[in-house]
Amino acid sequence: MYRILQLLNSAEVAECRRIAANTQFIDGRATNPHNKAKNNQQLHDPAASQASAQIMLKAFGQSEEFREFAFPDKIAPPLLTKYQPGQYYGAHADAAFINLGSHIIRSDLSCTIFLNDPESYEGGALLIRLGDGALSFKLRPGEAVIYPSDTFHQVEKVTSGERLVAITFIQSRIPDPFRRNLLFDLNEVAALEGLNMRPENFARLQLVQSNLLRYWGDKP
Ligand SMILES: O=C(O)CCC(=O)C(=O)O
Ligand SMILES: [Fe+2]
């Protein structure tokens, strides 16, 4: 399942853009030297990477919708990435395990956070393959799309302007997508209808939620 979140407010978007505008980017193949599909640029400077990642990690931490959808266990520091005219990312699947230096996370969910106005660049949609079709995302600044890491996806070639995004990967406490989606539906029902339910029935719903998390969730 896919989800679009309003993740960053305009001040946070502006700060990420400011960091991007004042820092050099390097060839994206630096972290994937053998990946011929990858043709983009990513932030490298440690201080700038840390400052921008901090803004976005804090926003993830404050998003209830994100927690209810992703059941996040670990989140890779979001990395500012840009695509200038002629750049793209061909169809690929994300690596199952991502080495963050101090530890390794499993990518259950992948996420692109959009930072530039979609009208300011041409091309550059994120296409997520779904059977013979594809879903296309080109979102407003501050919006993020979260999608299963086991899907083929690609970024269309940018033909004018600049596509600035941040990329991250999430290890979920519920690695099985079928179970995660069921728990998300239960979370939604509890959030939307819980207060309309008779209290004893709401308590039973919460019991089911907690017990499924207990049985299915990765241990912290
Ligand atoms: O730029 C994007 O939206 C996605 C990039 C991507 O697929 C990746 O970094 O693995
Ligand atoms: Fe990817």
Secondary structure of residue 13 in the 3-state scheme: helix
Stretch 144-160: mean pLDDT, rounded? 96
Strand-pair partners of 74: 171
Cβ count near 169 (within 10 Å): 23
What is the predicted pLDDT for the residue at 31? 79
In this prediction, residue 54 carries a pLDDT of: 98
Report whether residue 164 contacts ligand 1, using a CB cutoff of 6 Å: no
Mean pLDDT score of the chain:
95
If one residue of 110, 113, 152, 163 were mutated to test the ligand 1 pocket, choosing by the most ligand atoms within 8 A of its CB, it would be 110
185 labelled as ligand-binding?
Answer: no
pLDDT in tens, 176-214: 999 999 999 999 999 999 989 999 999 999 999 999 999
Say if residue 17 carries a ligand binding annotation.
no
- Is the pLDDT at 32 greater than 80? The verdict is no
Q: Summarize the confidence of residues 133-148 as an average pLDDT.
A: 97
% of the chain at pLDDT higher than 90: 89
Task: Kindly state the tokens that stand for 41.
Answer: 């640029």
pLDDT band, very low/low/confident/very high, at 219 (cuts 50, 70, 90): confident
Cβ 89 under 6 angstroms from ligand 1 = yes
The number of residues in the chain equals: 220
CB of 125 shorter than 6 A to ligand 1: no
- The reported pLDDT for the residue numbered 1 is 85
> How many of the other CB atoms lie within 10 Å of CB of 12?
19
Q: Indicate the domain borders of the chain.
A: 3-172, 177-216
Query: Phi/psi of residue 163, each to 5°?
Result: -100, 110
Please check the confidence at residue 29 and state whether its pLDDT lies above 90: no
Q: Is the per-residue pLDDT at 220 higher than 80?
A: no
Distance 209 CA to ligand 1 centre (A): 33
Q: From the alpha carbon of 92, which atom of ligand 1 is closest?
A: 7
Token pair, residue 206, equals 């919460």
**Burial state string for 131-164 with b = 16 or more CB within 10 A and e = fewer than 16:** eeebeebbbebbbbbbbbbeeebbbbbbeebbbb
Mean pLDDT of 73-91: 96
148's tokens = 């299963």
Q: What is the pLDDT of residues 47-78, one digit of tens each?
A: 999 999 999 999 999 999 999 999 999 999 99
What spacing in Å lies between the alpha carbon of 155 and ligand 1's midpoint? 7
State which CATH number among 2.40.40.20, 3.40.190.10, 3.40.720.10, 2.60.120.620 fits the domain covering 3-172: 2.60.120.620
The interface pTM score, or ipTM, of the predicted complex is 0.98
